[in-house]
Chain A
Amino acid sequence: MSDVLLSIRNVQKFYGRLAAVGGVSLDIRDNEFFALLGASGSGKTTLLRMLAGFETPTSGAILLDGQDVSAVPPNHRPVNLMFQSYALFPHMTVAQNIAYGLEMDRMPRSEIRTRVDEMLEVIQLSHLSGRKPEQLSGGQRQRVALARALVKRPRVLLLDEPLGALDKKLRGEMQLELKRIQDEFGITFIVVTHDQEEALVMADRVAILKDGLLLQCGTPHEIYEHPESRFAADFIGVMNFLPVRVQGGRLVAENGNVFKGALPNGLGEGDEAVVAVRPERLRLGASDGDNSLTGRVAATAYHGLDLQLHLDTPNSPGPVLVRLTADAAEGRVYREGEEVTVGWSARDTRVFPA
C-alpha cells in the first residue's frame, strides 16, 4: 500500500533565468489521493505539466515505478491529465471523446465499446453519450473530461484545478464524487488546486508550494494542526496572529501580555515573532487556559452551527476572530463594545518568526 509510485527528485524548471520550480522532491504513493496546493505562480501547474510530459525538467528526475520518465513524451507516458479547461474535442460526441485515448492504444473496437460504456455508467452520463460537448452543462463536461482521462487506466491521473469552473454547490458534490471514483478505480490522483478547503477535504496528503519551492507536505490533519511556517498557517484555514517579542525565553506582547507556547528553533532573545492560534481553539474566560487576552466585540456573525466574534484587542492590528460553538455561546447575545476575555492552551499555540 505504501509503495512509492512516483518519485520527484530535486526537480527544477527554469524559463530563462526565472525559476518556475526550484528544486522540489516528493514521493507519491500508489493509490494515493495527493494534492499540490499553492497560489498562482507557486509552480504547481509547471510541476504538473512536467509530470504529464508537456515540460521537461531543467534538472532533477521524475521516476515512475523506479524508471526515469522525465524525457518520455506525453503520448508515451502512462499518465493522463484532466485539463483545467477540460479541453474536450468539440467535434466529437461524448462517447467519441472517451474512446479517443483507447483508439490511440489500438484497442479492439468491441473492447473500446465496453470500456466506454462502463465509463459512461461510472460518470452517469450514458443517456448523453451522443451529445457534443457544447450541448452539455459545466458539470457534465467536467465528468466527461474525467472519464476521458480515466478510461485509459493510467498509473497516475493528474487533475488541473478540476473543480475550478464549477459553482460552489456542485463543487461540494464533485469533491465527494472524485473521492469515490478514485477509491473505485484504485488509481493515484494528483490534484492541483489553489483552494485549500478542496485540498483538505479530498486529499490523503497535501503538498504546499510557494514560489516554486515545497513548504510542507503531510496529511490534512498534520498541515492544519502543525503548520511548519507562518505562510502555511495563514494559507490553510483561518488563523489569528499576535505579534510578540522573545524576552527571557518568554513571548511578550507590546502591551505586556505574556503568552506560552513552544519556541521553534532559530528564534533567539529579542527576536520578533508571532503567536498563532485557530479561532475555534479560543474559549470564553481566561480560567482554563495557559494564555488569554481581552478585547471589545467589534462585530458578531451568526453561522448557525457557530457564532463568530470579532474582537478588537491591543494584541493584534486586525480583529481577533473567535469561533464559539452554539453550545459554548449558550444563546447569549454579545453587544458591540462589550468586553470579552478569551483563553487557550499552550498546546494549541504555534509560534513563528515574524
Chain B
Amino acid sequence: MADRSTRRLMLVILSAVFAFLYIPISVLVALSFNEGGLPTAWTGFSTKWYGELIANKDIMGAALNTLIVALASTLIATVLGSLLAVGVEIRRRKGRFLETVIFAPMIIPDIVLAIALLSFFSMLDVTLGLNTIIVSHVVFNLAFVCAVVRARLKTFDWTIVEASTDLGASTITTLRRVVLPVLMPAVIAGALLAFTLSVDEFIIAFFTAGAGRDSITLPMQIFAMIRFGVTPEINALATIVMTVSVVALALSQRLNSGKLAGQ
C-alpha cells in the first residue's frame, strides 16, 4: 500500500480536495481586498470595502442584533446545557426517550424547527422579534453545549467529587471548587460553539424574526444582499463573518481537546 504510485495518487487526491475546499473561499477573501471590487481584474490592495461596511447602517444594525441574539442565547444555553449534561451523566439509568429529546435539536432539519416555532409563537400571539429568535436559538444551542460538556464528563473521574466531600467540602463548595474548574474548558468550548452557531444561524432566525427591520440579523442581511448579486461589500462582510466563526470554533476545538486545559 505504501508503494510509490499509490502514495502519489493519494497526494493528488488530497491536493484536489483541498483545492476544491479552499479555492472558493480564498477567492472571496482575495476579492474583498481588491480595490476595483470586480473578479475580472486586480486593481490593487485596498481595505476600502471594509470601510464601507462600517458606514452601512443596515449592516451595522444587523451585526448588533446578531451580537445580542448570540450573546443572550449562548448565555442561557450554556447554563442550561451544562446543568443538563451534569444531570444526565450523574443519573445511572438513562432513558432512551431522554436521549432522543436531547439529541433531537441537533438532527431536526432547521426548516422544520423553524416553521414549528413560527406556528407556535403565532398561535400564542407572541410578537416576533429578537426575543423569539433568542428563545429559538437556545433550543439547538443548549443541545450542542450539553453534547460538548457530556463528552468531557465521559472521562470525568467522579471519585474526585467524593474526595472533596471526604475532605470536608459541602455540595456547593465541591461544585464550585472541583467540578466546575475541571469542566470549565468544556463549558467554554461549548459556549464558543453555541455562539458561533447562533451568529451563523439563518433559517430559524429568518422564520422567527417577524417582519420588522429591527430584528434583522446578519445572516438575514447577507441573504438579502446575496439575492441582489455579487458586491464587493458582501465579499468583505463574508470574510469577516467567516473569520469570526473559524477563529471561535478553532479555539473551542483547542479548549476541548484539552490543550489549554489546566492553564
* Interface bits B152-174 vs A (CB < 8 Å: 1, else 0): 00000101101111111110010
Whether B160 lies near A100 (C-beta < 8 A) is no
Whether B168 lies near A52 (C-beta < 8 A) is no
Whether A75 lies near B182 (C-beta < 8 A) is no
Whether B159 lies near A74 (C-beta < 8 A) is no
**CB of B262 closer than 8 Å to a CB of A:** yes
Given contacts A85-B157, A90-B182, A91-B262, contact A104 B162 (CB under 8 A): no
Given contacts A74-B165, A101-B167, contact A87 B182 (CB under 8 A): no
* Nearest CB of chain A from residue B20's CB, rounded to whole Å: 41
Task: Please measure, in the bound complex, the distance between the C-alpha atom of A74 and the C-alpha atom of B165, giving whole angstroms.
Answer: 6
* Nearest CB of chain A from residue B176's CB, rounded to whole Å: 12
Whether B169 lies near A87 (C-beta < 8 A) is no
Which residues of the partner chain A approach B87 to less than 8 Å between Cβ atoms?
none
Whether A87 lies near B262 (C-beta < 8 A) is no
Given contacts A54-B162, A87-B157, A104-B173, contact A148 B167 (CB under 8 A): yes
Given contacts A83-B159, A87-B163, A89-B163, contact A104 B168 (CB under 8 A): yes
**CB of A88 closer than 8 Å to a CB of B:** yes
**CB of A194 closer than 8 Å to a CB of B:** no
Whether B159 lies near A105 (C-beta < 8 A) is no
Given contacts A91-B262, A104-B173, contact A52 B166 (CB under 8 A): yes
- Determine the residue in chain A with the shortest Cβ distance to B184: A91
Which A residues, 165 to 222, have Cβ-Cβ distances below 8 Å to chain B? none
Which residues of the partner chain A approach B166 to less than 8 Å between Cβ atoms?
52-54, 74-75, 80-81, 149
**CB of A152 closer than 8 Å to a CB of B:** yes
**CB of A132 closer than 8 Å to a CB of B:** yes
* Nearest CB of chain A from residue B23's CB, rounded to whole Å: 42
Whether B165 lies near A89 (C-beta < 8 A) is no
Which residues of the partner chain A approach B164 to less than 8 Å between Cβ atoms?
89, 100
Whether A89 lies near B168 (C-beta < 8 A) is no
Which residues of the partner chain A approach B160 to less than 8 Å between Cβ atoms?
87-90
Whether A89 lies near B178 (C-beta < 8 A) is yes
- Determine the residue in chain A with the shortest Cβ distance to B160: A87
* Interface bits A147-165 vs B (CB < 8 Å: 1, else 0): 0110010000000000000
* Nearest CB of chain A from residue B173's CB, rounded to whole Å: 7
Task: Please measure, in the bound complex, the distance between the C-alpha atom of A104 and the C-alpha atom of B181, giving whole angstroms.
Answer: 17
Given contacts A90-B262, A91-B181, contact A75 B170 (CB under 8 A): yes
Whether A85 lies near B168 (C-beta < 8 A) is no
Task: Please measure, in the bound complex, the distance between the C-alpha atom of A248 and the C-alpha atom of B160, giving whole angstroms.
Answer: 62
Task: Please measure, in the bound complex, the distance between the C-alpha atom of A83 and the C-alpha atom of B157, giving whole angstroms.
Answer: 12
Whether A87 lies near B167 (C-beta < 8 A) is no
Which residues of the partner chain B approach A90 to less than 8 Å between Cβ atoms?
157, 160, 182, 262
Which residues of the partner chain B approach A54 to less than 8 Å between Cβ atoms?
162, 165-166
Whether B162 lies near A74 (C-beta < 8 A) is yes
- Determine the residue in chain A with the shortest Cβ distance to B177: A100
Task: Please measure, in the bound complex, the distance between the C-alpha atom of A76 and the C-alpha atom of B167, giving whole angstroms.
Answer: 9
* Interface bits B228-246 vs A (CB < 8 Å: 1, else 0): 0000000000000000000
Contact of A80 among B167, B170, B178 (CB under 8 A): B167
Which residues of the partner chain B approach A134 to less than 8 Å between Cβ atoms?
262
- Determine the residue in chain B with the shortest Cβ distance to A85: B159
Contact of A87 among B162, B170, B177 (CB under 8 A): B162
* Nearest CB of chain A from residue B5's CB, rounded to whole Å: 44
Which residues of the partner chain A approach B182 to less than 8 Å between Cβ atoms?
89-91
Which residues of the partner chain B approach A104 to less than 8 Å between Cβ atoms?
167-169, 173
Which A residues, 129 to 150, have Cβ-Cβ distances below 8 Å to chain B? 132, 134, 148-149
**Which 8 pairs across A and B sit closest by C-beta, in order of nearness?**
A104-B168, A101-B167, A87-B163, A87-B159, A91-B181, A87-B160, A75-B168, A81-B166
Give the interface of B toward A (CB within 8 A). 157, 159-160, 162-170, 173, 177-178, 181-182, 262
5 A-B contacts (beta carbon < 8 Å): A74-B162, A75-B168, A75-B169, A81-B163, A90-B262
